[in-house]
Amino acid sequence: MRSIVHGMALVGMVMAAAPLAEAQAPRGTAERTIGQARLALEYGAPPWSDARSAQLGTALPVGGVWRLGADQRTTFLVEGGAVLIGGVLVEAGGYGLNLRRLGAKEWAFVVFDGSDTNVAAGDGQWDVPATLVEKKESAPQLVVDFVDLGKQPSLVVRFGPIELSAPVAPLAVRETELSIAGESATSRWFTAAPADFPSGRFVRVGRVGSFYVGDHDGAFEVDLALDGATASVRFSSRERNKLGDRVARDEAALAALKARAGAAPSPRVRTALESATSALAELRAELEALAALPEPYEVKVALKGDGAAAGTVGAEVVRRGDQLVVQVRAGDKVGAQPLDESKLLPKSGAAPR
């Protein structure tokens, strides 16, 4: 019932964001090879009109999603490797592509793994920050492409006077086996060139696959942030992350709905508010029920020059005897820090979800 109620609460936001009804639009395509990855886009290319301006303006609320393209969904295929788009890791796979309005002039690309035209609440989804530029010349129809902006390949959307872009950078991908909790877990580690790695914010650099402590899957994700000669490495439960992301999105959607409703909401809006509030309470209860899964665990790693030429940026967890250690490389600097393995593991005595 929760997913049905949740969908009813947010249906107004999705419908408001859908393109206007029209004849079948021509299909546009774009391809680009970046590093080891081949990227391919396919989308419906509707014409620009003044009605579109209103649709992407006042008709689309903050938090609302625009489907990006006409007719069938916009598809985004990544093959043979992984990339950073706007500093967000996108691994090999087939995705849909939407846009989310974050503010009056703030947007994000939404990369999602669902099969519908629009991203759904339960889909894996990643918001990629987009840069907005308002052009003097208007694009007569929607164009989604990979374009070099300066020297940086970028994902670019042009529609009327609007240009949205996010840089795309190659990643090297390596798989290893990690011994943890008496099991072997397949791990994937992602490294970037120093110039392509965003500074001052966390970027996903690794995933440790499924291993079990009792009935609980201990899979976790590894994020890295750089600040001068210090690296912060954060470890977080994959399952907790998935649900936590949904809670954060629903909190933002509910806040936007309340802002639109004002002091005297209509009966229909009041019902939507009640449904969204109830759905969010259930999600929060689900998150609290994940008490067996570890809380995010963060360590600081001091970096120092190793005399080598500037290399890649990334992190990896390795076992040295009985000790787990995280190793960090950031260009010509390196560092390592022992880990408290217990903080990476589910609590074995707790009941499974």
Assign 350 a pLDDT band (cuts: 50, 70, 90). Answer: very low
pLDDT(179) > 90: yes
Spatial distance between the Cα atoms of 43 and 98, rounded to a whole number of angstroms: 11
The model's pLDDT over 65-120, given as tens digits with 9 standing for 90+, comes to 888 988 889 999 999 999 999 999 999 999 999 999 888 889 999 999 988 888 88
Distances in whole angstroms, Cα of residue 242 to Cα of each of 235, 286, 344: 14, 11, 17
The secondary structure of residue 331, as a DSSP letter, is: T
Most confident residue range from 48-52, 233-237, 262-266: 233-237
pLDDT(17) > 50: no
Q: Are 313 and 330 in contact (CB under 8 A)?
A: yes
Residue 305 parent element (H or E): strand 304-305
Assign 348 a pLDDT band (cuts: 50, 70, 90). Answer: low
Report the helix count and the strand count for the chain, using DSSP H and E: 4, 21
pLDDT(353) > 50: no
The secondary structure of residue 192, as a DSSP letter, is: B
Region 37-58: mean pLDDT is 86
pLDDT of amino acid 253: 79
Domain ranges, ordered by start, for the chain: 2-169, 172-237+292-344
Assign 124 a pLDDT band (cuts: 50, 70, 90). Answer: confident
Rounded to 5 degrees, φ, ψ at 327 are -110, 135
Assign 19 a pLDDT band (cuts: 50, 70, 90). Answer: very low
pLDDT of amino acid 57: 66
pLDDT(41) > 60: yes
220 by DSSP, 3-state: which? strand
pLDDT of amino acid 8: 28
**Regarding predicted confidence, which is higher, 111 or 8?**
111
The model's pLDDT over 298-337, given as tens digits with 9 standing for 90+, comes to 999 999 998 777 789 999 999 998 999 999 999 999 999 9
Distances in whole angstroms, Cα of residue 273 to Cα of each of 58, 127, 182, 257: 20, 24, 47, 7
pLDDT of amino acid 351: 43
pLDDT of amino acid 15: 32
Q: Are 331 and 194 in contact (CB under 8 A)?
A: yes
The model's pLDDT over 187-235, given as tens digits with 9 standing for 90+, comes to 999 999 999 999 889 999 999 999 999 888 999 999 999 998 999 999 9
106-120, 151-165, 274-288, 339-353: least confidently modelled range: 339-353
> How would you label 167-176 residue by residue, b for 16+ Cβ within 10 Å and e otherwise?
bbbbbebeee
